[in-house]
């Protein structure tokens, strides 16, 4: 009988990471894939990206709305736990796969731990900054197995008391897509998204939940810098954390500015093509830390959201005020960088499937042990 595996996804970003793993498992005849799609995927304001999951041709997609108009993280967490708990009781999976540092991942790990279901955490052991770091490490402690991006992440998990035999270094799964030869052409993406310029930068600016009282001011300063820089920008909406409305309200003022193209969401493959074509990426997204170096793309990292995430000297770090950001933009325009592979070799899905096909993985002890050594 095939083992049932549930992949939980709540954002366009984590689906981009999980997609190659889902495809790899689907291609194996040993497993039955199920997808629990929730969070931003089910929000029209952010592009209703569950449609992108459907377009991939995956079966057994369960759609669940976990949010309300207030976007309170604790309520979203509670709602996700309730919905997922009922779902797993219905299908009785052998494994729940979660990714990263969102409340949906915390819900998935909680449900698995409390129902004696094996939990696999993708990309634990990272440094996220803000409240995301607390969530990521909590997910790791609730998970039984870990699939990490590099040896640094493995070391951090072991410092947290996780057993070395439960940690697998597979690289970052989104590199499977980044380094593939199946990305669309720039001409296709440019036409599809009606992008009127060839020279541009990409902006992704998310709320910082631990600085919520300042986010309105920071969003104002950030977008002032972009406007004054006299460059063209593709802007992708922020995630739906508390404080996103401050940023979205400011973005409305740019809708009729010819130097900007705004999108609630962009399919991951098309986003990668935009990155390859762009001059630099700016904001506070992990894409600037993780994906951009693979393409030799300069990154302007604004503020504190990615604090501690990387020691890559090519990243340009700046504060929130427009004068600092403009100076950093000028630096980015002058940089000529070589690609750097910091998070794997593009074969994460192959490694993931091979591990899940082993008896050792399925014999993982569900009663967690703490390694004191």
Q: Of 100-114, 236-250, 299-313, give the range with the top mean pLDDT.
A: 100-114
Calpha distance 9→59 (Å, rounded): 14
Residue 12 lies in a domain: yes
- Verify that 10 and 143 share a domain, yes or no: yes
203-226 pLDDT, tens digit each: 999 999 889 999 999 999 999 999
Residue 369 lies in a domain: no
Helix 322-334, helix 215-228: angle, nearest 10: 40
Residue 236 contacts residue 250 (beta carbons within 8 Å): no
Query: Which residues fall within 8 angstroms of residue 56, CB to CB, at 6 or more apart?
Result: 19, 23
- Verify that 154 and 289 share a domain, yes or no: no
Q: Give the mean model confidence (pLDDT) for residues 163-191.
A: 94
Res. 336: pLDDT tops 90: yes
- Verify that 234 and 351 share a domain, yes or no: no
- Using a 10 angstrom Cβ sphere, with 0-12 exposed, 13-18 middle and 19 or more buried, the burial of residue 189 is buried
- Verify that 198 and 147 share a domain, yes or no: no
The helix (H) or strand (E) run that includes residue 122 is strand 118-122
- Verify that 203 and 221 share a domain, yes or no: yes
Calpha distance 52→202 (Å, rounded): 21
Name the 3-class secondary structure at 313: coil
Residue 339 lies in a domain: no
- Verify that 214 and 161 share a domain, yes or no: no
103-156 pLDDT, tens digit each: 999 999 999 999 999 999 999 999 877 788 899 999 999 999 999 999 999 999
Residue 55 lies in a domain: yes
Largest CA distance in the chain: 62
Residue 340 lies in a domain: no
Instruction: Measure CA 247 to chain center.
Output: 19
Give the pLDDT confidence score for residue 72 in this predicted structure.
83
- Verify that 191 and 168 share a domain, yes or no: no
Residue 144 lies in a domain: yes
- Verify that 132 and 208 share a domain, yes or no: no
Joined tokens for residue 266: 């962009």
Res. 70: pLDDT tops 80: no
Give the phi and the psi of residue 196 in degrees, each rounded to 5: -85, 0
Domain that holds residue 82: 3-179+345-362
Q: What is the DSSP letter of 41?
A: G
Residue 368 lies in a domain: no
Joined tokens for residue 247: 């940023």
Q: What is the CATH number of the domain that holds 257?
A: 3.40.50.2000
- Verify that 17 and 105 share a domain, yes or no: yes
Residue 367 lies in a domain: no
Structure-token match 């931003």, residue found? 40
Residue 5 contacts residue 34 (beta carbons within 8 Å): yes
Count of domains forming the chain: 2
What pTM does this model have? 0.89
| DSSP track, 79-90 | HHHHHHHHHHHH
Give the pLDDT confidence score for residue 344 in this predicted structure.
81
Q: What is the DSSP letter of 242?
A: T
Give the pLDDT confidence score for residue 242 in this predicted structure.
87
Residue 99: C-alpha distances to residues 24, 121, 149, 280, 317 (Å): 16, 6, 12, 27, 26
- Verify that 167 and 20 share a domain, yes or no: yes
- Verify that 19 and 93 share a domain, yes or no: yes
Give the pLDDT confidence score for residue 41 in this predicted structure.
95
Res. 9: pLDDT tops 90: yes
- Verify that 201 and 287 share a domain, yes or no: yes
């Amino acid at each position: 009988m095939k083992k049932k595996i549930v992949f939980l996804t709540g954002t366009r970003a984590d689906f981009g990471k999980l997609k190659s793993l889902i495809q790899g498992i689907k291609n194996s005849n040993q497993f039955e894939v199920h997808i629990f799609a929730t969070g931003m995927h089910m929000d029209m304001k952010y592009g209703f990206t569950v449609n992108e999951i459907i377009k991939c041709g995956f079966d057994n997609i369960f759609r669940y709305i976990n949010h309300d108009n207030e976007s309170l993280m604790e309520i979203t967490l509670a709602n996700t736990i309730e919905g997922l708990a009922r779902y797993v009781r219905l299908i009785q999976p052998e494994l729940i796969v979660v990714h990263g540092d969102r409340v949906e991942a915390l819900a998935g790990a909680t449900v698995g731990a409390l129902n004696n279901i094996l939990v696999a955490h993708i990309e634990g052991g990272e440094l996220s900054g803000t409240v995301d770091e607390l969530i990521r490490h909590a997910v790791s402690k609730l998970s039984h197995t870990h699939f990490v991006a590099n040896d640094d992440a493995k070391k951090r998990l072991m410092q947290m008391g996780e057993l070395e035999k439960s940690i697998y270094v597979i690289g970052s799964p989104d590199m499977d897509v980044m380094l593939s030869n199946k990305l669309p052409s720039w001409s296709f993406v440019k036409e599809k998204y009606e992008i009127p310029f060839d020279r541009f930068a990409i902006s992704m600016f998310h709320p910082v939940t631990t600085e919520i009282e300042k986010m309105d001011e920071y969003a104002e300063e950030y977008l002032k810098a972009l406007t004054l820089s006299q460059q063209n920008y593709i802007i992708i909406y922020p995630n739906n954390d508390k404080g996103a409305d401050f940023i979205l309200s400011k973005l409305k003022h740019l809708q009729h500015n010819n130097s900007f193209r705004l999108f609630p969401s962009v399919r991951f493959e098309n986003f990668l093509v935009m990155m390859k074509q762009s001059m630099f990426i700016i904001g506070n997204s992990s894409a600037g830390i993780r994906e951009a170096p693979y393409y030799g793309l300069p990154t302007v990292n604004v503020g504190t959201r990615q604090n501690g995430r990387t020691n890559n000297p090519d990243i340009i770090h700046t504060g929130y005020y427009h004068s600092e950001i403009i100076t950093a933009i000028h630096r980015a325009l002058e940089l000529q960088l070589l690609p750097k592979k910091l998070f794997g070799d593009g074969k994460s899905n192959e490694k993931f499937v091979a591990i899940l096909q082993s008896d050792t993985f399925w014999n993982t002890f569900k009663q967690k042990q703490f390694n004191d050594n």
